[in-house]
Structure 1
């Protein structure tokens, strides 16, 4: 039938190509190139049949478990120019396309010559130099010259799909052509081909990498065992005697590679279950498979090449051939790739093909060549990565970082070297200014890989150490800021990884969880969107625990972040008063009255940024640490985004009874609506401020507002608390939370974590010497503290709100006597005041 005929034809084609390749008469490179031109029409055949290629194992996401229709059927409707339609659960692959109406340039050369002369005429000499008139006529009549011969075009729709063995055979022949064809012919075709043909060419290269990816020794062993088992079972049933003619058993065979490719799943059609295997697949005469059938699947020790070695060598050869073709294309298309500063579809297609090497399993030897090729690629096209949009830079950083977690130490080193080289190129591209682009994209890639690949183990840490070693040993850049920037980046990455790993351990400990989230948010200080994500996560934890004041502060930080981002983008003009130049050192307390400016004055406007929120919290200066990168594709902030965020802040300030801050938050919003002449909203905002001041008057007079209590919590026990051992924290508890209440909560929390018999509470507030404690216990000390103010602050902070807002010093007292006893007579009793600064 048709499938058997195709297998026979492909076997004949491979045998013929092998014969020409090994024939000593055609051993020279020039003769091999001329012979390869004979097989060029195969490329057109592959283009026509790409929708029929086997893709199920390569792209399983396109398939479902439904039984409707065939999994492998792809129908080409409307003749050769029709689109690819889906039948049942057929693959909807990216390679599907309208069948081209033109054949490739080099295919047309071989076929056209063959039509005009005998078979020898197809051996085109690449050394021949056509005249200028011939070249001009070729350019003018390009469409006619590229016309696909009718012998290669099917007039009817083809619904049957090529199996994996057929697909691999076709691609193997294509790769042999690419390896031996003259470079001049390839370059000539690329220069004449239209964009869609170039895209299809790269699609075929990607198919080659996918179909010949190395799956590992265990996977190959399983496939081989399945093939032998089925062959033995079939032989036992007598179906191997497909022909009474003994001579049939001497046919060349390819069952072994076919079974290796198909995964031992058996024939897909019912007819294959009963037809003789020799007839159906030309197959069982593979000596290796026959030998294994006779020895129950074992391989003789004397064999020099095992099936695993064969597959590994084939995978490496395919990958290196594709890499050579890629480098040849890049070398001859530098001008096209640099169009629009590297931000073009051709550049993206080429880079996607390079990155595919990292996305599928490759040998260490192959990856070594890929890393070298990418170093050259980055050096040739730095503007594509460090200028304009950051998409290409982000994709490359993601794949390199993934390789930094590779199980092979040599691959880790190569990946670390490439990442360091990439950052170095960024530094040189900016003429020694910074590595902002690569810094931001590496941090974003790490955040993605934490969820996607679970990076952060010892292998990834080792790669970071290698990068630091490169920075320390780079003598030409030793006196620049580059080494410090690299160390800062690796430090931030480690902080992210450490905090992410610890967050799972402290899911039930709200204070530790928020502290880790804050650490993670700080590590993303240079990336606004990622920092905002973790600040929002902190706010949600605070809301869940009833800490509404802290949630409001998180949203204020987010507002400052958005305002700073808008300011740096030039959303507002710089204020004449120079507010954009305010630094925390020059102006620790910002005058909020300068937020409001006359919107009627065409020469002035209001300037925001983190400095506008200093009167609310001095901590917002952290939001000024973001790095500027015009290519970063973050969520586009607008003035409305800021207004919505500020309105959310006001909502939580009402809920947390922080009425004094509502006016300060509303003032920037008032400036926005003054500019828009939105008097209705202005009236609502002023009424909201009016209500907040009325509420302030009420609570100040009643003195019924409670801001919470503060406790010093210390942990002791290296074997239990690790990094937190001997550290002291200030816990803010809601309203009237007593000492016994917080002590019981912490005791239960850590008893559940370490065991009830391993946790003890220290009942006094005296200074603890860890050496006096037993190492087999975890100790917790809780002490009640109150805010501390010096004389000036005592005078300035008159209201209860001021004594609980923006505080960072606390005090507690412990009794003692000069004789050494804790307590004594009144005249002997002393007390020690301990001041803590957070």
Structure 2
């Protein structure tokens, strides 16, 4: 399939003039037959046993890896055009987001049955054609394991990182409120899947070695077949575990930076296209904001947290009216709380970035208060009513940022007292 793909350059460089080809539609399957066949196989294999299901997932991952390292298409323009061809992969992951998330959050047996409830149709067409495959609401013969989920998510990251931002923004704008929360949910699941957890490698290595000792050669054969084992070098000592930990930490950092870049580009899209009403009327803004706030946690590397502080400053400037004048107070309160926690970090650069962001929040808040009070003074000066009071409440003088700072401090104090 890969050779067929590269022998037909039209599949790699076809200009997209129709949004119908952003989905797995009959038009897409007709114009891009090899990839359409692969995506159809992905949907069908979800109900197959793990041995059959694993092959299309690995094929997709290896195909994207070959695109990434192929010198014939090394320039970024070619990579972007190739990524456009794989846009149906995003909808595939969104269709099965429940199953992907259950594998990440559930600590139960990976071989138990799971039910997938698809949140979107399999084939999409403007002509209203029916699905050519059965409904994707079915019982899996075997649940997805961690390796399969990570392969799917890393393939999705390849697409959303290399696809042109205007195409991704247009795709989200076209989806509107139906798929936007799901897309941000997919980003959250991706962050959770690749979050670095200290000590997890040592625990899994000890569990695997104890299993091999208790079951002997048959246990070793089972671990090798299940794909959960690692190379023999990882079993030799702590050096291999440290090397593997460093690899996972680097991957976690790359994933977080990609998700942060995509989230910020979507925020720019909504601001530039004046789609503020679309993102602010629903819970989409809360999802977008929570993704940024989650990257301020201490489990992320220093570079990720610093990039997140910068992205939050841009986000505050883009949605200043929503945060400091009109919108709900939850996002602002959570932001101030996370920044106050970051001020207690042991990393000096994180402390400085948190202090700068807190100064930006308070400055915007007090500027909004001054504009509000000036407007009331002008109204009072031109009003003929003598009963119009000139006294302002304490809340009005503090403004949103000042009040929510006190709320965040009280909440942190309550958490501290309960932990004693």
Q: What is the TM-score with the length of structure 2 in the denominator?
A: 0.72
Instruction: Give the equivalent residue in structure 1 for 2:201.
Output: 220
Instruction: Give the equivalent residue in structure 2 for 1:144.
Output: 127
Instruction: Give the equivalent residue in structure 1 for 2:33.
Output: none
Instruction: Give the equivalent residue in structure 1 for 2:286.
Output: 348
Instruction: Give the equivalent residue in structure 2 for 1:623.
Output: none
Instruction: Give the equivalent residue in structure 1 for 2:303.
Output: 365
Instruction: Give the equivalent residue in structure 2 for 1:392.
Output: 331
Question: What SS does the corresponding residue of 2:102 show, helix, strand or coil?
Answer: coil
Among 166, 173, 176, the alignment partner of 2:148 is 166
Instruction: Give the equivalent residue in structure 2 for 1:203.
Output: 185
Distance in 2 of aligned mates of 1:151 and 1:41:
16
8 Å CA contact 1:382–1:426 kept in 2: the answer is no
Distance in 2 of aligned mates of 1:7 and 1:395:
41
Mapped pair 1:53 → 2:100 = yes
Mapped pair 1:383 → 2:321 = yes
| Deviation of the 1:219 alpha carbon | 3.3
| Deviation of the 1:366 alpha carbon | 0.2
8 Å CA contact 2:83–2:163 kept in 1: the answer is yes
Change (3 A) 1:393 1:151: same
| Deviation of the 1:224 alpha carbon | 3.6
Mapped pair 1:6 → 2:53 = yes
Instruction: Give the equivalent residue in structure 2 for 1:316.
Output: 253
Distance in 1 of aligned mates of 2:364 and 2:205:
47
| Deviation of the 1:155 alpha carbon | 6.7
Instruction: Give the equivalent residue in structure 2 for 1:299.
Output: 239
Q: What is the TM-score with the length of structure 1 in the denominator?
A: 0.38
CA displacement, residues 668-712 of structure 1 (integer Å, 9 cap, x when unaligned): xxxxxxxxxxxxxxxxxxxxxxxxxxxxxxxxxxxxxxxxxxxxx
| Deviation of the 1:148 alpha carbon | 8.4
Equivalent positions of 1:321-332 (< 5 A) are 321-332=258-269
Give structure 1 stretches of 5+ with no counterpart.
64-68, 77-83, 85-97, 109-141, 243-275, 455-499, 505-838
Distance in 2 of aligned mates of 1:73 and 1:236:
28
CA displacement, residues 608-665 of structure 1 (integer Å, 9 cap, x when unaligned): xxxxxxxxxxxxxxxxxxxxxxxxxxxxxxxxxxxxxxxxxxxxxxxxxxxxxxxxxx
Among 416, 426, 450, the alignment partner of 2:413 is 450
Distance in 1 of aligned mates of 2:90 and 2:410:
42
Change (3 A) 1:148 1:74: farther
Question: What SS does the corresponding residue of 2:197 show, helix, strand or coil?
Answer: coil
Question: What SS does the corresponding residue of 1:5 show, helix, strand or coil?
Answer: helix
| Deviation of the 1:344 alpha carbon | 4.6
Distance in 2 of aligned mates of 1:14 and 1:231:
30
Distance in 1 of aligned mates of 2:210 and 2:296:
34
Question: What SS does the corresponding residue of 2:239 show, helix, strand or coil?
Answer: coil
Instruction: Give the equivalent residue in structure 1 for 2:6.
Output: none
Larger RCO (CA within 8 A; separation ≥ 6)? 2
Point out 4+ residue stretches in structure 1 off by more than 4 angstroms: 69-73, 340-344, 432-435
| Deviation of the 1:232 alpha carbon | 4.6
CA displacement, residues 324-370 of structure 1 (integer Å, 9 cap, x when unaligned): 11111111111555339956533223212222223572111101000
8 Å CA contact 1:75–1:159 kept in 2: the answer is no
Distance in 1 of aligned mates of 2:166 and 2:101:
32
Equivalent positions of 1:511-522 (< 5 A) are none
8 Å CA contact 2:211–2:219 kept in 1: the answer is no
Distance in 2 of aligned mates of 1:390 and 1:51:
29
CA displacement, residues 227-258 of structure 1 (integer Å, 9 cap, x when unaligned): 4x157538842454x5xxxxxxxxxxxxxxxx
Equivalent positions of 1:427-826 (< 5 A) are 427-431=366-370, 435-452=398-415, 454=416
| Deviation of the 1:39 alpha carbon | 2.7
CA displacement, residues 708-751 of structure 1 (integer Å, 9 cap, x when unaligned): xxxxxxxxxxxxxxxxxxxxxxxxxxxxxxxxxxxxxxxxxxxx
Question: What SS does the corresponding residue of 1:53 show, helix, strand or coil?
Answer: helix
CA displacement, residues 407-439 of structure 1 (integer Å, 9 cap, x when unaligned): 433222222221111101112233476542111
More strand by share: 1
Question: What SS does the corresponding residue of 1:150 show, helix, strand or coil?
Answer: coil
| Deviation of the 1:180 alpha carbon | 1.4
8 Å CA contact 1:53–1:163 kept in 2: the answer is no
Instruction: Give the equivalent residue in structure 2 for 1:280.
Output: 226
Residues matched between the structures, number: 346
| Deviation of the 1:73 alpha carbon | 4.3
CA displacement, residues 194-243 of structure 1 (integer Å, 9 cap, x when unaligned): 31211111110110111111213x3333334434x157538842454x5x
More helix by share: 2
Mapped pair 1:410 → 2:349 = yes
8 Å CA contact 2:90–2:156 kept in 1: the answer is yes
Distance in 2 of aligned mates of 1:164 and 1:306:
20
| Deviation of the 1:443 alpha carbon | 0.9
CA RMSD between the two structures: 3.3
Distance in 2 of aligned mates of 1:23 and 1:341:
38
8 Å CA contact 1:102–1:143 kept in 2: the answer is no
Instruction: Give the equivalent residue in structure 2 for 1:101.
Output: 121
Among 215, 229, 237, the alignment partner of 2:217 is 237
Instruction: Give the equivalent residue in structure 2 for 1:41.
Output: 88
Change (3 A) 1:36 1:10: same
Mapped pair 1:185 → 2:185 = no
Distance in 1 of aligned mates of 2:294 and 2:76:
30
Greater Rg by CA:
1
CA displacement, residues 268-326 of structure 1 (integer Å, 9 cap, x when unaligned): xxxxxxxx333332x65x5xx31233x3x3426xx9x8111111111111111111111
CA displacement, residues 123-159 of structure 1 (integer Å, 9 cap, x when unaligned): xxxxxxxxxxxxxxxxxxx7438x7863595374446
